[in-house]
Amino acid sequence: MFISLLHVVRELIVSALQTSLMLFKIIVPISILTRLLQQLGIVDYFGIILGPVMELVGLPGQIGLVWATAMITNIYGGMVVFASLAPGLDLTVAQVSVLGTMILVAHSLPVEGLIAQKAGTRLRATLLIRVMGALLIGWILHLVYQLTGALQQTNQALWNPLLFEQTWSAWLLAELRNMFYIFLIILTLMAVLKIMKKLGVSDLMTRLLAPVLNILGISREAAPVAIIGMTLGLGYGGGLIIQEARTGNLSRRDLFASVTLMGLCHSIFEDTLLMMVLGAHLSGIFWARLIFSLLVIYLLVKLIRKLPDKILVRYLLSSVDLVNDKTVSNGQG
């Protein structure tokens, strides 16, 4: 019994290390590049370019820098820029809700885009869906809040961090700490998934979600990792789904639907709380994002089932190293 347990633990650690290293090969170069972009001030130019776009969703042009930073770096980077700009702009709760929802749909695109690519989705397709999706939901929310007169009171952010220039050594230590946490989380997730399978919890959850999964076109096999991605993040769910992709257990249509869903709506608890700290309302950052993501996936799955395989492979599906790749035209998912 004890030897058997040790064998299971060893397998879990090895699998977690392999998956983590796969993610680190993506995360490390991108982290260094984004750090350099920040140091050189190139991120600021993205903000200037996005200024007119922000006005279309009812936001001041300066807020473009916040979204640009979040897209290129991560949510926390966007939050820090927001904390430095927001005090002088007199933003309403509606405006912050629009911004927060757009950030949640499209952030950390270099890292998360490459993770999605590793899982079988073309990078350009991922970027297009997430950026255009963020703009669309931002525009819809802006119109709804404007027409109904909802959430027009002045926003009061709960988080006002002290801003400081981080040194390279401090940045490196923070990145190493983050990678260690990623490994621990992936290890924990793999253990939880194994326990869930043993106890039959995965099958129960899948059966309960069967009606929704059928509508979205996501198969039973893809359900557990899709749920992990939605609740804990694309970094973690994406790592697991890359592993699933390499086993060949999922069709490539399944991979596309699952990864795209996780891209549009992931970390629904943690990230939602982060935006609430900035003053955003749940109507946008949680409910609108969730409903919008499910609707987009429903329409995308309907579309890819009708598209020829040649078009799918050329524009939506990337090449992934699968052990036993199922055909693109697999009917489910």
pLDDT tens, position by position, for the chain (333 residues)? 667 778 888 888 888 888 778 767 766 786 787 678 767 877 677 778 888 899 999 999 888 988 988 898 888 778 878 877 787 789 999 999 999 999 999 999 998 888 888 877 899 999 999 999 999 999 999 999 999 999 999 998 886 655 555 677 877 887 787 778 778 877 887 787 678 677 876 567 666 666 776 777 777 777 777 777 777 677 666 677 777 667 666 777 888 888 888 899 888 877 888 899 899 999 999 999 999 998 999 898 888 888 888 888 888 887 554 434 443 433 333
Q: How many CB atoms lie within 10 A of CB 203?
A: 14
Calculate ∠ Cα 73-76-78, nearest 5°.
65
Q: Which residues pair with 92 in a beta bridge?
A: 154
Q: pTM for the full model?
A: 0.77
Q: Which residue has the tokens 């007199």?
A: 90
How many Å apart are CA 233 and CA 274, to the nearest integer? 13
For 120, the token pair is 């079988």
Q: Which residue, among 274, 309, 266, has the nearest Cα to 133 in the 3D structure?
A: 266
Q: Which residues pair with 317 in a beta bridge?
A: 121
Q: Which residue has the tokens 């890819």?
A: 304
Q: Which residue has the tokens 């190293």?
A: 321
Q: Which residue, among 256, 248, 250, has the nearest Cα to 224 in the 3D structure?
A: 250
Q: Which residue has the tokens 């050329």?
A: 314
Dihedral, CA of residue 67, residue 71, residue 73 and residue 74, to nearest 10: 80
Is the Cβ–Cβ distance between 316 and 122 less than 8 Å? yes
Separation in Å, CA 129 to CA 136, 140, 268, 287? 10, 16, 18, 19
